[in-house]
Amino acid sequence: MFERAARAAATLLLIAAMNTSTPPAVSAAPATGEEKPCSAAPYRQFDFWLGSWDVTEKGKVAGTNRIESILGGCALHESWHGAGGLHGNSINYYDAPRGVWHQTWIDERGNGLILEGKFENGAMRLEGERPGSTPGTRDLHRITWTALAEGKVRQLWETSSDNGKTWNETFDGLYTRAK
Q: What are 50-93's pLDDT values in tens digits?
A: 999 999 999 999 999 999 999 999 999 999 999 999 999 999 99
Write the CATH number for 101: 2.40.128.20
Q: Is 155 within 8 Å of 176 (Cβ atoms)?
A: no
Buried b (16+ CB within 10 A) or exposed e, 14-48: beeeeeeeeeeeeeeeeeeeeeeebeeeebeebeb
Whether residue 113 has pLDDT greater than 50: yes
- pLDDT at residue 6 in the model: 42
Mean pLDDT of 94-120: 97
The Cα–Cα gap between 64 and 21 comes to: 25
Asked if residue 28 belongs to a domain, the reply is no
Give how many domains the chain has, as a whole number.
1
- pLDDT at residue 33 in the model: 56
Answer whether 0.75 is exceeded by the pTM. yes
CB half-sphere exposure, 111, CA atoms < 13 A: 10
Asked if residue 31 belongs to a domain, the reply is no
- Residues of the chain with pLDDT > 90, as a percent, come to 76
How do residues 25-54 score in pLDDT, each as one tens digit? Answer: 333 344 455 678 999 999 999 999 999 999
Asked if residue 90 belongs to a domain, the reply is yes
Asked if residue 85 belongs to a domain, the reply is yes
* Domain, as residue range, for 108: 2-20+50-177
